[in-house]
A and B are shown apart, each in its own frame.
Chain A
Amino acid sequence: MRRVTWLVPTLYIIFLMLPIYWLLNMSFKTTNEILGSFTLWPQNFTVENYVKIFTDPTWYMGYVNSLIYVSFNTVLSVAVALPAAYAFSRYRFTGDKHLFFWLLTNRMAPPAVFALPFFQLYSAINLFDTHIAVALAHTLFNIPLAVWILEGFMSGVPKELDETAYVDGYSFPRFFVKIFIPTIAAGIGVAAFFCFMFSWVELLLAKTLTSVEAKPIAATMTRTASTAGYELGLLAAAGTLTIIPGAFVIYFVRNYIAKGFALGRV
């Protein structure tokens, strides 16, 4: 019985790792080897693909662009979600429940529905092809999520904390910054993780709102696939590199991850 329970996650992880291994394997092969033969590991090991990505600005700037708008989006989403989540977790006010559901509905809007109007909206206000445009567009689904997660964490903090602070003579802003934010630091970490995650993986809106200056790495990849023929090795190397920021972020939040996925509301 013990051996069986150990086997299930192991098999699952192997299943998860196989396509990633294949991508990694491809990224160290030459185009000739990829197209000419079927090999389980690179026979002519090459880092050529990676060298190309790190020396060609059209490639590496894609990563820089993505990281810029993702960071901006994360900071913005969490910053505006904090007071809102506090209001939802502590107070009743006219329309609060409807407002909460309305916020959540935006998490349900298919990006494909909004692609074209977004293009027109951001062109009209001269933000097309800027990092700000993508960061703002991604708040559509990240703010509702951040509010949802933070509200869950904040509801877990007893109200006595607020009241004691006021008795001790704290003003609201001072209480919020000095006491409340440190108390829910884990929740903020989790919310930031999710904002990072959904902004990093989204492509449709990011691609629609950019052309050259702010083009994300993911869009660089799709265009290369269609124009420069079939440079699979290069594509695989670029793909492998997009996994690294995510892996990095997961490593930092690994102890909160399970809790965060439950949106702090278990």
Chain B
Amino acid sequence: MRKTRYERAWLFVIPVVALVAFNAVIPLMTVVNYSVQETFGDNVFLWAGVRWFQEVLLSERFHAALGRQILFTGTILLIEVPLGLAIALAMPRKGPWVSVCLVLMALPLLIPWNVVGAMWNIFALPDIGLLGRTLNEIGFDFNFTQQPGDAWFTLIVMDVWHWTSLVVLLSYAGLVSIPDAYYQAAKIDGAKPLAIFRHIQLPKLKRVLTIAILLRFMDSFMIYTEPSVLTGGGPGNATTLLSIDLVKVALGQFDLGPAAAMSLIYFLIVLLLSWVFYTLMMRNEAQQ
């Protein structure tokens, strides 16, 4: 749409800027402040320079948490995006079942995150949980509170359960926006389903899939509540993702300096990767 140049449009934006700045800038400055100082309590602060940043960037603990985080985010993206797309393609386009499908599929998205964690904890317990018990009955030695592999399995399945619907709903929205005429043209040409997918559906879905990947990337990178309720980061440190590690340092040990430095590094990583996605997305759009 052509837009008019109008500087007073700023007045429309002021309430939003004021509220978000209050919530974002002040806490961010607090974090920056802590990250360059050392404290021994009693509000005594000493200048620490970039020491905390060096400490965090060089610590094996941070590398390990970051590694686990990347593994987690990578795995769930590889599962959720293709799976969500496949389900959206198989969904009915018209009729009474559409609403039923949409409502039932959206349900996991609206459950408080700690309830998701608690629900999966109960569901996967090896003695009284449906999933854990069934797996043990059919011969697997499954115990997610003891074995790191099982904890990871449960964590991944939980996230797939929780968030695949987001990809489904986005892809579905993209699919229903394709005009019927495209399909009719393909039919006249005698196109196979695979060709229809490759040449009609996929190009139209590019945009929504980018949004889906961006949202899933950001949210999975920030995940805290669900794994903290499900496994608490354990067994050992096996499922200690970045946020969990951060909260352990900040609120558990009250090491404000290192926690603040870690917060900033963490935020910058999310920001940088999201910026790359965002730029690619916008460039794509400009081309079309």
Name A residues whose Cβ lies closer than 8 Å to a Cβ of B: 4-9, 12-13, 15-20, 22-23, 26, 34-35, 38, 40, 76, 80-81, 83-84, 86-94, 96, 99, 101, 103-118, 120-121, 136-137, 139-140, 143-144, 147, 155, 158-159, 197, 200-204, 217-218, 221-222, 225, 232, 235-236, 239, 242-243, 245-247, 249-251, 254-255, 257-259, 261-263, 265-266
Query: B222–A110 contact, CB under 8 A?
Result: yes
Asked whether B129 lies within 8 Å of A22 as measured between CB atoms, the reply is: yes
Chain A to chain B contacts (Cβ below 8 Å), 22 pairs: A13-B104, A16-B104, A18-B131, A80-B19, A89-B1, A92-B5, A93-B8, A94-B10, A108-B270, A110-B222, A110-B243, A110-B266, A112-B247, A116-B251, A136-B19, A222-B114, A235-B122, A243-B115, A245-B110, A247-B107, A254-B103, A266-B207
Chain A residues, Cβ within 8 Å of B26: 117, 121
B interface residues (Cβ-Cβ under 8 A, vs A): 1-10, 12-13, 15-17, 19-20, 22-24, 26-28, 30-31, 86-87, 90-92, 99, 101-115, 118-120, 122-123, 127-131, 133, 161, 164-166, 168-170, 172-174, 176-177, 207-208, 211, 218, 221-222, 224-225, 229, 242-243, 246-247, 250-251, 256, 259, 263-264, 266-267, 270-271, 274-275, 278
Contact A201 B113 (CB under 8 A): yes
Further contacts, 5 of them, CB under 8 A, given A80-B19, A265-B211:
A87-B12, A90-B3, A103-B16, A140-B20, A236-B122
A16 to B170, CA, bound (A): 18
Cα-based distance from A257 to B246 in the complex (angstroms):
35
Asked whether A139 lies within 8 Å of B19 as measured between CB atoms, the reply is yes
What B residues does A251 contact at CB under 8 A? 103
A103 CB to closest chain B CB (Å) equals: 6
